């Protein structure tokens, strides 16, 4: 139903069409507006615009509805013509209609807002935060070296729709790295498969792995002055400029010294452990903890020649809970999207490290874990944000946490 000015529905429902002012950006690639008092999260718009939007999802709690833009009634100067013909149809990109510079400003706003609202930071503290491009950035396109395609009942590979299970047929994805595009996944027959993962590594040929089965292909990456061999299904940073950038940012804030004992928690194939092992030297020690058996095998192979590194194939919470480590000097914390959580945060803070470098792909989880640390006397000392997922709402942060008081004086 389309509402005329002055006409107000009791409560918005699916299919309603509304005109509204878009006032702010929200986490998740959405913007916020209000319609007769109700909060509306709108996709494919920009703060400052006036849009006509169709309500998609109207949860029964009534606190908000989700809507998608049907027409832009007053356009933002940051609006651009999306480079990709599937923008707005496939669920992968959120910000194709926004200039790259403005995308980065929107992401910085989201990080700031999460830190203020959830992380209890002073809202004025991070006003100068910028989301930095990483080396290899090519107008935000051609960066995705790992892509998961969904396969429909007829064996055609495509991408998932937004918050949907349907498979959107596509020809080429413009954010996919050239090596991924060359595999021509969407032109091949995948009948009988549920999904296909395409991997285009920096130092070996691109591979397609049906149904994410480990053991099908090995790939090689080069980062932090090492060659990394891994099963193609193991975690690796997706943007070709991400691994070196994050290692550099972590090294800069942690400043490891010879002889330090460092923990690399959620260590994947051992990127940070291997990179920082030289910094702590053979008099130091690095404990790397990772639960994915496939990544652990790759890490052991990659770092077998670095005696100061020990790899533990276990979940971080269980490993910490066993109490094998009473103290450490530095921690790299690089959890999945859900963050570290209260228990892990409590355990690592008790180890009284000098500093924790928290590498975060979700600013909301990061902010929650920062709040946990602040409650027991820690502070957020520095923060950088990187645009390793251009065109999408995702952003990677490297946050430095340090004790307010010198180690050993915490309550």
Ligand X SMILES: C[S@@+](CC[C@H](N)C(=O)[O-])C[C@H]1O[C@@H](n2cnc3c(N)ncnc32)[C@H](O)[C@@H]1O
Three-class SS of residue 209? strand
Give the separation between CA 119 and CA 371, rounded to whole angstroms.
5
Looking at 54-62, 122-130, 208-216, 289-297, which segment touches ligand X (CB under 6 A)? 289-297
Size of the site for ligand X (CB under 6 A): 18
**Least distance from ligand X to the Cβ atom of residue 238, Å:** 10
Q: How many CB atoms lie within 10 A of CB 371?
A: 18
336 binds ligand X per the rule CB under 6 A: yes
Asked about 31 being catalytic, the answer comes back as no
Helices 363-375, 341-350: crossing angle, 10 deg rounding:
50
Tokens coding 56: 């998609």
Considering the candidates 31, 93, 361, 397, report the single residue annotated as catalytic.
Answer: 361
287 binds ligand X per the rule CB under 6 A: no
| Of residues 154 and 304, the one with the C-beta less far from ligand X | 304
291 binds ligand X per the rule CB under 6 A: yes
Place of tokens 């975690």: 235
DSSP 8-state class, residue 352: -
Tokens coding 403: 């004790």
| Of residues 16 and 290, the one with the C-beta less far from ligand X | 290
Looking at 16-24, 265-273, 345-353, 381-389, which segment touches ligand X (CB under 6 A)? 265-273
**Least distance from ligand X to the Cβ atom of residue 65, Å:** 32
- From candidates 41, 86, 126, 272, binder to ligand X by CB under 6 A: 272
365 binds ligand X per the rule CB under 6 A: no
- From candidates 75, 315, 350, 382, binder to ligand X by CB under 6 A: 315
290 binds ligand X per the rule CB under 6 A: yes
Contact 291, 314 (CB under 8 A): yes
| Of residues 279 and 317, the one with the C-beta less far from ligand X | 317
Looking at 26-34, 158-166, 261-269, 346-354, which segment touches ligand X (CB under 6 A)? 261-269
- From candidates 231, 244, 292, 402, binder to ligand X by CB under 6 A: 292
Bridging pattern class, strands 309-313 and 285-290: parallel
Contact 364, 340 (CB under 8 A): no
Q: Is the dihedral of CA 270, 276, 280, 281 positive or negative?
A: positive
**Least distance from ligand X to the Cβ atom of residue 67, Å:** 32
Looking at 181-189, 260-268, 362-370, 392-400, which segment touches ligand X (CB under 6 A)? 260-268
Closest by CA position to 212, among listed 228, 198, 191, 202: 198
Looking at 23-31, 84-92, 232-240, 252-260, which segment touches ligand X (CB under 6 A)? 232-240
- From candidates 41, 266, 378, 386, binder to ligand X by CB under 6 A: 266
Tell me the residue nearest to ligand X as measured from the CB.
268
Beta strands in 141-216 (DSSP E): 146-151, 157-160, 167-169, 195-199, 207-210
| Of residues 106 and 234, the one with the C-beta less far from ligand X | 234
285 binds ligand X per the rule CB under 6 A: no
| Of residues 215 and 259, the one with the C-beta less far from ligand X | 215
Element (H, E) at 243: helix 242-254
334 binds ligand X per the rule CB under 6 A: yes
| Of residues 237 and 392, the one with the C-beta less far from ligand X | 237
| Of residues 272 and 378, the one with the C-beta less far from ligand X | 272
Strand order in the sheet with 207-210: 167-169, 157-160, 146-151, 195-199, 207-210
Residue 373, classified by CB atoms within 10 Å of its CB into exposed (0-12), middle (13-18) or buried (19+), is buried
235 binds ligand X per the rule CB under 6 A: yes
| Of residues 51 and 219, the one with the C-beta less far from ligand X | 219
Beta bridge partners of 197: 148, 209
Concatenated DSSP letters for 55-110? EEE--TT-SEEEEEEEEEEE--TTB---SSTTTTTSSS-S-TTB-HHHHHHHHHHH
Looking at 101-109, 112-120, 283-291, 303-311, which segment touches ligand X (CB under 6 A)? 283-291
Q: How many CB atoms lie within 10 A of CB 239?
A: 25
Binding site for ligand X (CB under 6 A): 235-237, 266-268, 271-272, 289-292, 295, 315-317, 334, 336
User: Catalytic site residues?
Assistant: 361
């Amino acid at each position: 139903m389309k509402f005329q000015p002055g006409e107000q529905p009791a409560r918005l429902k699916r299919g309603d069409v509304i005109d509204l002012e878009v006032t702010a950006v929200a986490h998740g690639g959405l913007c916020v507006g209000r319609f007769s008092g109700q909060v509306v999260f709108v996709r494919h718009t920009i703060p400052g615009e006036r849009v006509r939007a169709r309500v998609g999802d109207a949860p029964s709690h009534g606190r908000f509805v989700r809507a998608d833009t049907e027409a832009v009634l007053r356009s933002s100067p940051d609006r651009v013509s999306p480079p990709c013909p599937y923008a707005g149809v496939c669920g992968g990109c959120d910000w194709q209609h926004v200039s790259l510079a403005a995308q980065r400003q929107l992401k910085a706003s989201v990080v700031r807002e999460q830190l203020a609202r959830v992380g209890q930071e002073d809202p004025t503290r991070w006003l100068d935060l910028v989301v930095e491009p990483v080396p290899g950035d090519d107008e935000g396109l051609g960066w995705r070296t790992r892509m998961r395609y969904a396969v429909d009942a007829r064996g055609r590979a495509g991408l998932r729709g937004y918050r949907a299970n349907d498979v959107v047929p596509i020809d080429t994805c413009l954010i996919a790295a050239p090596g991924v595009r060359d595999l021509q996944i969407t032109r091949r027959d995948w009948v009988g498969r549920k999904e296909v993962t395409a991997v285009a590594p920096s130092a070996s040929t691109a591979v397609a792995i049906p149904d994410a089965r480990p053991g099908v292909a090995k790939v090689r990456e080069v980062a932090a002055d090492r060659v990394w061999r891994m099963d193609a299904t193991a975690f690796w940073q997706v943007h070709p400029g991400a691994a070196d950038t994050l290692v550099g940012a972590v090294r800069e804030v942690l400043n490891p010294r010879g002889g330090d004992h460092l923990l690399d928690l959620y260590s994947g194939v051992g990127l940070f452990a291997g990179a920082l092992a030289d910094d702590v030297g053979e008099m130091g020690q690095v404990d790397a903890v990772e639960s994915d058996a496939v990544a652990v095998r790759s890490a052991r192979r990659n770092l077998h020649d670095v005696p100061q590194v020990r790899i533990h194939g276990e979940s971080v919470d269980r490993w910490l809970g066993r109490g094998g480590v009473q103290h450490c000097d530095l921690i790299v914390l690089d959890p999945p999207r859900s963050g570290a959580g209260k228990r892990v945060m409590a355990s690592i803070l008790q180890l009284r490290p000098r500093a924790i470098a928290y590498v975060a792909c979700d600013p909301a989880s990061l902010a929650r874990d920062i709040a946990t640390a602040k409650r027991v006397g820690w502070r957020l000392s520095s923060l950088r944000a990187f645009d390793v997922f251009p065109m999408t709402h995702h952003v990677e942060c490297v946050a430095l946490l340090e004790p307010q008081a010198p180690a050993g004086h915490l309550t």
